[in-house]
Amino acid sequence: MLKVIRDEKQIARYARQFARSFRPLVDEKIRVRLGHQGASFAAKVSWSRKLRMWTLARTTKGVRYWNTFGTSRPEENGHLAITSEVNFPWTGIDRKTGAAFAEDAWRRVYAVHRGKIGGGKKGIGKSLFEENYRGCWAWMEDGDTLAQVAVIGAFAGGRLALQVAQFVRKVEKLKSAALITPQTSLNFSEVAFREELVGKPPGPPGTSVGDCDHDLIVSRLANLLGRWKFIVGNDSSTDLFLVRPDSRAITHLIAVSTGLREEETLAAAAALLLRRAAEDAPPAAFLMLPEDQIAGYAPRLQTIGIETLVCRLEGERIIFPDLGKIRIDP
């Protein structure tokens, strides 16, 4: 269970840390005309190739900490639309402001979002977010009420900027999908990796906060495997699956567990077994675990036909040292 942070000095400190987390990844500053609520103004945004995102942070004293983002590289002096905002209140609890800071029982701090997204278009709002956003969700004590929030990212670990960028991309895809009419809706029958499907939907009361790194690991792994001779796909029940281009058959199933809780690791293994049993030709099954968890699980998982893969997190780096276990040829 998380608890919202309402102290003005704490909010100010975390708002500064949030904005500073992007600075080491900035490649250039670009002057633009930034559009906001039907108007535009001159601004200088920060573009990051690694994040595939521009950022701009401003403070309205006594009101809020304003953070805006976009996913297209800006043109110098061009007009730039805002993809997403992550705004924090100046003090206390302001449920009209989309984001907040929260901490868990171990005093670990997170940036969270209540689901209030804008866009000026019909169908884009909190209901769209709550019904469609998949990621890391948690229950939070929000003053005198209990609320379910999306966890944008964790301050510990050095990956907050990466986690925010992934959140922004997912929100962008939610908004884009909401604007597609039935006549122009996309056909998703073709196998592909869709980042907006990575993660979990909201869970029942009492659900613990998930690991903010899970979705980053899945997306990074999909990107790497996509450079091989595989077709990489995912769906709402499987983190990743691989398809041979010559046969169109699923050859590998991959689940990622961050080892945060044993029950989640065991649930990931069970889901792999069920998905494999549903295929006509059972594919190879792999469970990716943190390096310090492998020894405790690998022997047991091998007895039920699941191989293990290692994931190592070093600040912003996500390393997969034994991906060679995944081979095209049986």
15-33 mean pLDDT: 97
Res 282 pLDDT > 70: yes
Instruction: Work out the pLDDT band at 40, boundaries 50, 70, 90.
Output: confident
103-108 mean pLDDT: 94
| Percent of the residues in the chain that have a pLDDT greater than 90, as a whole number | 71
What is the model's pLDDT at position 73?
93
What is the model's pLDDT at position 37?
52
pTM of structure: 0.91
291-320 mean pLDDT: 94
What is the model's pLDDT at position 180?
62
Alpha-carbon gap, residue 298 to 93, rounded angstroms: 45
Mean pLDDT across the chain, nearest whole number? 90
207-228 mean pLDDT: 88
pLDDT tens column, 224-264? 999 887 899 999 889 999 998 777 789 999 999 997 789 88
What is the model's pLDDT at position 188?
43
Res 189 pLDDT > 70: no
Res 308 pLDDT > 60: yes
pLDDT tens column, 138-186? 999 999 999 999 999 999 999 999 999 999 999 999 888 776 644 333 3
Residue 59 burial by Cβ neighbours in a 10 Å radius (0-12, 13-18, 19+)? middle
Longest dimension (CA), the chain: 63
Q: Where are the beta strands (DSSP E) in the chain?
A: 2-4, 28-36, 39-48, 53-60, 64-70, 79-80, 84-85, 88-89, 99-103, 109-113, 137-142, 145-154, 231-233, 240-243, 250-256, 284-290, 306-314, 317-319
Q: Report all structural domains of the chain as residue ranges with CATH numbers, in order of start.
A: 2-178 (no CATH), 211-325 (3.40.1350.10)
